């Protein structure tokens, strides 16, 4: 049995933002939200920078990104 996650806040529209996953049809890519978290921005900072976002959008963007890379290997530079 395959576990399928349902994302209700992530949309993909080939006619918007080149088809990249965005938050709720807004022109805010999941990658932008994840990048802001990775850069150390707090949830409050992100919501201030993007007033159209909601806290649940940030959480689902992170869940979506985690699922997108769960079964994939990324090449890493040797230490």
**pLDDT digit string (tens) for the chain, length 79 residues:** 445 568 999 999 999 999 999 999 999 999 999 999 999 999 999 999 999 999 999 999 999 999 888 877 666 666 6
**Residue-level pLDDT at 72:** 73
**Residue-level pLDDT at 25:** 94
C-beta separation of 10 from 60 below 8 A: yes
- Element at 66 (helix H, strand E): helix 55-69
**Residue-level pLDDT at 1:** 45
């Amino acid at each position: 049995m395959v576990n399928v996650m349902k994302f209700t806040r992530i949309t993909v529209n080939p006619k918007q933002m080149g088809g990249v996953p965005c938050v709720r049809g807004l022109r805010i890519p999941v990658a932008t939200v994840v990048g802001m978290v990775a850069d150390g921005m707090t949830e409050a900072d992100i919501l201030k920078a993007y007033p159209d976002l909601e806290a649940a959008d940030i959480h689902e963007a992170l869940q979506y990104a985690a699922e997108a890379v769960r079964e994939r290997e990324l090449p890493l530079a040797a230490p």
